[in-house]
Amino acid sequence: MATDTSNLYSEPSDLSGLKGCIPLVGLTGGIGSGKTAVSDALGKLGAGIVDTDLIAHQITAAHGVAMPAIQKQFGAQYLDSSGSLDRAKMRALVFAKPEARKALEEITHPLIRQETFNQAQQLFAKGVPYLVFVVPLLVESGSWQDLIDYLVVVDCPEEVQITRVMQRSKLARAEVEGILQAQASRKDRLACADLVIENQGSLAELDAKVNQLHQKILQIKKEQLSSS
Ligand code: ATP
C-alpha cells in the first residue's frame, strides 16, 4: 500500500532492453484508487506483474535488504519491534523533512530498481504475454513514461479514495488528504493515460473492465509481433 512515498521515483533505466520484446504496461493511480485490485486480476489472467510498491515493502520488512542501511542512517527508533521499518514514524519524518526523504530514497531506490529489473527478467524468461509495472507515482517520476508502451490509469473520485484508505489503513482523514496532496492531481494523471479504468463501482464491474484491458493488451502484443 502506498502510504509512504519511499518507492516512488525508482527509475526503470535497466529495463530498456526489454522494450520491443514484450509489451510493457505501466499501471498507476492515486492512493486507494484500486491499482492492486487491477493488478491482482491481471495476474490471474496470466500477466507478469511487477509491483514496485510491494518491492518497497519487502525490502523494508524485517531482514529486508534495505534495513541495515536504514538503521544506520536513521537509528533503531525507526524500526518496530519486529525489525521492520516503522512506516508511520518514517512517514511523519519524511513529510516534515525533505532531506530525510532524500536520504531514505538514496537507500531504497537503487534496491527497488534492481529488484524490479530482476523480477521483470524472470517473468519475461517464463514467457508471460506482457509485463505490468505497478508504480504508484509513475506520472510524477517522469522517467517511466519513456519506457512503457501503454499507460493504464486507475481512477475514482478523491472522496472514494479517502474513504477506502481510511478504512483499509486505519489512517485519519487528514493523513490521507496529506498523501493525496503530495501526489499528482487526477487531472494531470488522466492527461497521461492511454486507458483509464474507472473504479468507483463494484469489484465485479472492475473485473469485467480488467478482462477487456487484458484482451486489448493481447491485441497490442499481436500487433507488436506482426510488425517485428
Ligand atoms: P495504494 O495506492 O494504497 O496501494 P491501491 O491503488 O493499490 O492502493 P487497492 O489496494 O487495490 O488500491 O484498493 C484500496 C482498497 O479499496 C482495498 O481495501 C480494496 O479492497 C478496496 N477496493 C478497491 N476497489 C474496490 C471496489 N471497486 N469496490 C470496493 N472496494 C474496492
Statement: residue 7 has pLDDT above 50:
no
- Nearest to 220, CA basis, from 30, 66, 23, 35: 23
Instruction: Report the predicted TM-score, pTM, of the whole model to 2 decimal places.
Output: 0.89
**CB-CB neighbours of 184 under 10 Å:** 18
Find the 37 Cα to ligand 1 centroid distance in Å: 6
Statement: residue 223 has pLDDT above 90:
no
Q: What tens digit of pLDDT does each residue of 132-159 get?
A: 999 998 998 878 888 899 999 999 999 9
**Ligand 1 test: best mutation among 39, 164, 180, most atoms within 8 Å of CB?**
164
Q: Is 46 helix (H, G, I), strand (E, B) or coil?
A: coil
What is the residue extent of each domain of the chain?
5-222
Find the 64 Cα to ligand 1 centroid distance in Å: 25
Q: What is the mean pLDDT of the segment spanning 167-192?
A: 93
- Can you read off the three cell numbers belonging to residue 38? 487491477
Q: Whose CA is nearest to atom 26 of ligand 1?
A: 203
- Nearest to 19, CA basis, from 195, 194, 146: 146
- The second-level CATH assignment, the architecture, of 5-222 is 3-Layer(aba) Sandwich (3.40)
Burial of 106: CB neighbours in 10 Å, binned 0-12, 13-18, 19+: exposed
C-alpha distance across the termini of the chain, in Å: 38
Q: What tens digit of pLDDT does each residue of 41-88 get?
A: 999 999 999 999 999 999 999 999 999 999 999 999 999 999 999 999
Which pLDDT band holds residue 227 (cuts at 50, 70, 90)? confident
Statement: residue 225 has pLDDT above 90:
no
User: What phi and psi values does residue 65 have, to the nearest 5 degrees?
Assistant: -65, -20
Give 60's DSSP letter: T
Q: Are 190 and 139 in contact (CB under 8 A)?
A: no
**Ligand 1 test: best mutation among 3, 5, 8, 33, most atoms within 8 Å of CB?**
33
Geometric angle at alpha carbon 26, from 21 and 29, rounded to 5°: 175
Which pLDDT band holds residue 9 (cuts at 50, 70, 90)? very low
Q: Whose CA is nearest to atom 2 of ligand 1?
A: 31
Find the 156 Cα to ligand 1 centroid distance in Å: 10
Statement: residue 215 has pLDDT above 60:
yes
Statement: residue 185 has pLDDT above 50:
yes
- Nearest to 124, CA basis, from 112, 133, 134: 133
Rounded CA-CA distance 111/68 in Å is: 13
Task: Outline where DSSP puts E strands in 65-224.
Answer: 131-134, 150-155, 195-198
Identify which has the larger pLDDT, 143 or 161.
161
